[in-house]
Structure formats: C-alpha cells, structure tokens
Amino acid sequence: ANFSEKVVESFPSDISTGIYYGWACVGNGDVHKMVLSIGWNPFTKKSVETHIIHTFKEDFYGEILSIVIIGYIRPEKNFDSLEALISAIQEDIEEAKRQLDLPEHLKLKEDSFFHLPEGKIVNNH
C-alpha cells in the first residue's frame, strides 16, 4: 500500500530513509504486522510504501490505512539484482516479525489508535 504524495509530505521532514517495522490497519479491520519503506522514488520524490504482512481477500483502495512505526531495520540501499532485492525484503519481513513478537511491541497492536469511531471523518475522508 503506497501513501499519496500529500500524506508523504506530512511525514516529519527529518525522518531517515530506510526500512521500518510496525503495525498497520486498513479501515476498522484487524491490525497486522507491517514493513515500511521510506525512500526516494525514482530518486526525486520521497515515497512511503507499506507492506502489510497479511494476505487480503480483496483490494482495499480508498480505505483509510493507519500505521504505527515501531522501529528501524536498515538504511535505504540499491541492489545489484532482483534476487538480492527479494532476499533483502524477505530478511526485512522476518526481522519485523521477530521484533513485533516482543511483548513491548505486541501490546501496541491493541492501541485504541487503530479503532476509528463509526462515521468519523479523517483528513476529509
């Protein structure tokens, strides 16, 4: 799930590019582990891409995506091959799973931040 340019511009300007982990929720659905990439794509605009570690039955375009960034995995980097990129992504996902299973991170999954009141309008949506 990619955030819009408007949302990306609202992120703190001093946030480092790289790979992060945390929790994500689509609409008022369940909260899932996620890996987040903050980087320059294609090297001119900052982008924020969320990989939710869950298989959804259908697309969720237009839904509100709520995230909580818990920690940092590694800096942004270039890869020599698609295989190297895929391997790094798999390692990032495994590291995120390990970290998010820690009790101090697991408890944040239940935070009220993820539960929007019915009918609440967020950012004009």
- Is 49 among the catalytic positions? yes
Angle at 82 between CA 78 and CA 83, to 5 degrees: 110
Q: Which one of the listed residues 5, 9, 49, 94 is annotated catalytic? A: 49
Alpha-carbon separation of residue 117 from 21, 61, 81, 114 (angstroms) = 26, 20, 45, 10
Residue 108: exposed, middle, or buried by beta-carbon count in 10 A (0-12, 13-18, 19+)?
Answer: middle
Catalytic residues: 49
